[in-house]
């Protein structure tokens, strides 16, 4: 039986909200699509997010190219303007990069530079290990305690793993979903500290646009949150999903599970209504939509963490290449749990300390070679209990 839950997301399906202000009732209505204009010009702009998503796509692809070096991979991760790090000249010309925005949200890391530095250093160490531990063993058959290649049953895909069975490219990819996309959306751009920073609210109330722009700063901040999910879409008025290697792809995966069908529209509707509320100067509705997005986007991370840990049980010990691939993806989503955000709270669903303990348990001793179903079930149950879904719903 599925849980019956009165979710915040029900609000978003109404596509409108009442706002009572000094005995005057106004109605904020969302447009049919994420389309907003001022004086006939679109006010929607998230080009920086598109740039980082595209940089991320090239970066994670490069993690399995053995001619790459620690220097070249780190240059893709921490790109400097003008450096020839990517195949796209526009990306090379950009001042944007991935590393500077990883674990960099206002709410979670502005006053917590210790954790922010530790997380960035963790990504650096994974990159180094891929080059120094995995690449040299690319042609070696992996075994307990030995890095190398391992092939899926029936002549399937070859996976390239550490001595503990971990596919670092998958770990890095899925951890970036939390450390970059989720953290920037939920704990930065949808934060009232960012949306209402400085004179943003007064400027928005008076339609004062940013210098040489057609949008207000508050409108732009909301768009930037939107961009980390939809920034690589060809047409954001009709998102197709599964068009990048990050959050967009895994929203598609969760939407494709019958237990969670409708989450894609819940998220898109909340983005639309929140943006419309900014235009209407209706900050109560804006903030309500931000809380919906915290719940639903966090759920993507939790669902996929449990999904991959449970999927691995079917092949662990019989087709370790398949199991290790699932476990590596799952571990990346587990790592991303620390960047989630409980609605109406200043806290993630799991703290860094809790996440680090999960990671240590999964990689203890010989890592994936020694894992048991009981350990996977224990962690999966603990994760599911924090969210509004069951282990069974997430596992299939």
Tell me which residue of 239, 204, 244, 238 sits closest to 220, measured CA to CA.
Answer: 204
pLDDT at 9 > cutoff 60: no
In this predicted model, what pLDDT tens digit does every residue of 64-83 receive, in sequence order?
A: 999 999 999 999 999 999 99
Whole-model pTM: value is 0.94
Where b means 16+ CB within 10 Å and e means fewer, 103-119 reads bbbbbbbeeeeeebeeb
- Determine the Cα–Cα distance for residues 334 and 360; give it in Å rounded to an integer: 11
- Determine the Cα–Cα distance for residues 229 and 279; give it in Å rounded to an integer: 21
pLDDT at 6 > cutoff 60: no
What is the rounded average pLDDT of the residues 280-290? 98
| Residue 55 and residue 76 in contact, taking contact as beta carbons nearer than 8 Å | yes
In this predicted model, what pLDDT tens digit does every residue of 222-272 receive, in sequence order?
A: 999 999 999 999 999 999 999 999 999 999 999 999 999 999 999 999 999
Strand partners, 41: 38
pLDDT at 20 > cutoff 70: no
| Residue 152 and residue 159 in contact, taking contact as beta carbons nearer than 8 Å | yes
Residues sharing a CB contact under 8 Å with residue 305, sequence separation 6 or more, in sequence order: 330, 333, 334, 336, 337, 380, 383
pLDDT at 27: 79
| Residue 334 and residue 355 in contact, taking contact as beta carbons nearer than 8 Å | yes
pLDDT at 23 > cutoff 60: no
What is the rounded average pLDDT of the residues 354-365? 98
Q: Judging by beta carbons within 10 Å of its beta carbon (0-12, 13-18, 19+), is residue 261 exposed, middle or buried?
A: exposed
In this predicted model, what pLDDT tens digit does every residue of 200-233 receive, in sequence order?
A: 999 999 999 999 999 999 999 999 999 999 999 9
pLDDT at 357 > cutoff 50: yes
Mean pLDDT of the chain: 94
What is the rounded average pLDDT of the residues 90-109? 98
pLDDT at 18: 57
Bin 69: left if φ > 0, else alpha if -120 < ψ < 50, else beta.
Answer: beta
What is the rounded average pLDDT of the residues 380-384? 98
In this predicted model, what pLDDT tens digit does every residue of 164-197 receive, in sequence order?
A: 999 999 999 999 999 999 999 999 999 999 999 9
In this predicted model, what pLDDT tens digit does every residue of 174-183 receive, in sequence order?
A: 999 999 999 9
pLDDT at 14 > cutoff 90: no
Return the domain boundaries, the chain.
99-179+300-395
In this predicted model, what pLDDT tens digit does every residue of 113-153 receive, in sequence order?
A: 999 999 999 999 999 999 999 999 999 999 999 999 999 99
């Amino acid at each position: 039986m599925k849980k019956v839950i009165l979710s915040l997301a029900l609000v978003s399906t109404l596509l409108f909200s009442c706002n009572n202000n000094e005995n005057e009732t106004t109605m904020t209505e969302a447009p049919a699509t994420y389309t907003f204009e001022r004086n006939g010009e679109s006010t929607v702009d998230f080009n920086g997010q598109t740039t980082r998503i595209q940089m991320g796509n090239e970066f994670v692809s490069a993690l399995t190219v053995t001619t790459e070096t620690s220097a070249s991979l780190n240059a893709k991760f921490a790109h400097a303007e003008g450096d020839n790090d990517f195949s796209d000249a526009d990306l090379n010309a950009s001042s944007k990069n991935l590393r500077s925005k990883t674990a960099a949200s206002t709410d979670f890391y502005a006053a917590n530079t210790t954790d922010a530095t530790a997380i960035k250093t963790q990504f650096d160490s994974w990159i180094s290990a891929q080059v120094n531990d995995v690449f040299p063993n690319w042609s070696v058959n992996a075994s307990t305690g030995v890095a190398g290649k391992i092939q899926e049953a029936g002549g399937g895909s070859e996976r390239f793993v550490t001595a503990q069975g971990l596919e670092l490219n998958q770990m890095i990819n899925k951890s970036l979903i939390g450390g970059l996309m989720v953290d920037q959306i939920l704990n930065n751009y949808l934060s009232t500290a960012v949306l209402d920073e400085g004179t943003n609210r007064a400027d928005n109330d008076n339609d004062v646009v940013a210098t040489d722009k057609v949008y207000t700063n508050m409108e732009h901040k909301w768009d930037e949150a939107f961009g980390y999910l939809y920034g690589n879409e060809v047409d954001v008025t009709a998102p197709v999903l599964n068009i990048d290697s990050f959050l967009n792809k895994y929203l598609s995966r969760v939407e494709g599970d019958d237990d969670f069908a409708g989450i894609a529209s819940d998220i898109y509707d909340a983005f639309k209504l929140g943006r419309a509320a900014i235009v209407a100067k209706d900050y109560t509705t804006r903030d309500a939509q931000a809380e919906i997005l915290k719940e639903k986007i966090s759920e993507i991370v939790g669902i996929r963490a449990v999904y991959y840990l449970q999927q691995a049980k079917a092949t662990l010990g019989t087709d370790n290449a398949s199991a290790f691939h699932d476990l590596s993806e799952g571990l990346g989503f587990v790592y991303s749990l620390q960047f989630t955000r409980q609605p109406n709270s200043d806290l993630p669903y799991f703290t860094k300390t809790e996440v680090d303990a999960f990671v240590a348990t999964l990689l203890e001793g010989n890592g994936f070679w020694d894992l048991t179903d009981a350990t996977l079930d224990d962690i999966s149950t603990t994760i599911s209990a924090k969210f509004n879904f069951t282990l069974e719903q997430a596992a299939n």
